[in-house]
Amino acid sequence: MKYRYLGNSGLAVSRLCLGTMTFGNEAWGCDLATSQSIVDAFIDAGGTFIDTADLYTKGESEVILGKALKGKDLTRLVIASKCWFPVDDTPNGRGLSRKHIVEACEASLRRMGLDYMDLYQIHGPDPYTPVEETMRALDDLVSAGKIRYAGCSNLYAWQIVKANAAAEIGGFTKFISGQYLYNLVRRDIETEILPACVDQGMGVLCWSPLAAGLLTGKYRDREEVFKSDRFSAMTNLRDRYVFDEAMDLVELLCAIAKETGKSPTTVALAWLLKDKAVTSVIAGARSAEQLSDSIEAGAWDLPDEAYRKLKDKLPHKHGYPTEWMETALVPSFNKTEDDPGRAQRFPPLFG
Ligand SMILES: NC(=O)c1ccc[n+]([C@@H]2O[C@H](COP(=O)([O-])OP(=O)(O)OC[C@H]3O[C@@H](n4cnc5c(N)ncnc54)[C@H](OP(=O)(O)O)[C@@H]3O)[C@@H](O)[C@H]2O)c1
């Protein structure tokens, strides 16, 4: 297993993070015994970073994770959870108010049987709560010793920068990470969010890095995908991941896997990790056997040529203003050598 620092923070994490959304899920997940074997296999392989949320299986994922961690040396692990989704039907049982953040954090710690967690992430943006209130509440949790670091998930790029600016002004802790949907068939974050995270010194954590199983190469046509447990239960995933170009990409992924002697799963995860802006990929599994291919990506680096072929197969269309930048910015700033250490990271304009 290889390790990376989470953004500009001093926190080192395994570059494979274990996702626990499957824990306790009857339709497309696994029970306590299997979850325990997944956690054991992950830690035995050198994995240190584990992600959960109060949302997953209505808190059951956190309960199971807490049981699976019993007797483990927590100082060697980095445990992350999240809040934001409704936990009940009251108006304060959701969102990012000081009241909810503190109560949700305490409830997550109780479910996991922990005194503190390492990374606490807001799961989405709250359109009603002032961002200063949210950042102050996260900072209070750091001061109270209940969390070590704060991160975000699913925010727009401008919201990330606004929140960190509010934290800077208030002297509060800033986000050290952004958890985002990123995989070979959904590269939306390359336009705004990934550059914003780099600018803000935040590490990117990729959720659904295998497109919920599509990029394992086990489905070779749409009908097979739709029949699977996950895609039958979560029909919104069909439009998100299953389209002609995505199925063509799976073919290339399988061919490259054959060439490199690795599984498509390993190659798909290693593709994301090729970019050092990505700190960790959050892979899910419903058995320890499934996890073994993902674990391999924790230590294996994809060759450059394979990376480039996959990158070029289904490029993300950035649209405006990137189109404008290509015609206006590139020719206007071409008098000096491109210096990646100095330039702000725009979508890949300079090749
Ligand atoms: N922040 C957010 O909003 C957000 C949203 C979603 C997820 N997450 C986080 O990201 C984690 C991962 O999400 P995800 O489960 O969608 O990720 P994923 O890694 O893209 O998909 C995982 C699924 O792929 C299949 N799979 C994995 N390895 C396999 C293998 N070797 N062979 C065959 N099938 C394999 C399994 O599903 P089947 O066996 O059912 O095919 C597994 O449950 C979650 O656990 C959670 O921690 C965060």
- Tell the residue nearest (CA) to atom 46 of ligand 1: 19
Of the residues 3, 5, 56, 219, which is catalytic? 56
d(CA 332, ligand 1 centre) in Å: 43
Report pTM: 0.96
Catalytic residue status for 56 = yes
User: How many other CB atoms are there within 10 angstroms of residue 169's CB atom?
Assistant: 10
Distances from the Cα of 176 to the Cαs of 114, 148, 163, 204, 278, in angstroms? 22, 11, 12, 9, 12
Is residue 228 in contact with ligand 1, taking CB distance under 6 Å? yes
pLDDT at 325: 87
- pLDDT tens profile 260-304: 999 999 999 999 999 999 999 999 999 999 999 999 999 999 999
d(CA 10, ligand 1 centre) in Å: 27
User: How many other CB atoms are there within 10 angstroms of residue 168's CB atom?
Assistant: 11
Burial class (CB in 10 A: 0-12, 13-18, 19+), 23: buried
pLDDT at 220: 87
Q: Which residues share a beta bridge with 347?
A: none
d(CA 29, ligand 1 centre) in Å: 10
Instruction: Find the Cα–Cα–Cα–Cα dihedral 328, 309, 277, 109, rounded to 10°.
Output: 130
- pLDDT tens profile 321-349: 988 988 888 788 777 766 666 666 666 65
The gap from C-alpha 325 to its chain's centroid, in whole angstroms, comes to 28
Decide: 109 and 140 in contact? Cβ < 8 Å: no
Q: Mean pLDDT throughout 80-86?
A: 98
d(CA 166, ligand 1 centre) in Å: 33
How far apart (Å, rounded) are the C-alpha atoms in residues 191 and 174? 22
Give the torsion sign (CA, 233, 278, 305, 319). positive
Residue entry with tokens 């606004």: 162
Q: Mean pLDDT throughout 115-141?
A: 98
Q: What percent of the chain is helix, strand and coil (3-state, nearest 5)?
A: 45, 15, 40
- Nearest atom in ligand 1 to 28's CA: 40
All structural domains of the chain, each given as residue ranges with its CATH number in brackets, are 3-316 (3.20.20.100)
Is residue 153 in contact with ligand 1, taking CB distance under 6 Å? yes
Distances from the Cα of 338 to the Cαs of 23, 129, 195, in angstroms? 46, 41, 16
pLDDT at 351: 47
Task: For ligand 1, pick from 65, 81, 216 the residue to mutate: most ligand atoms within 8 Å of CB.
Answer: 216
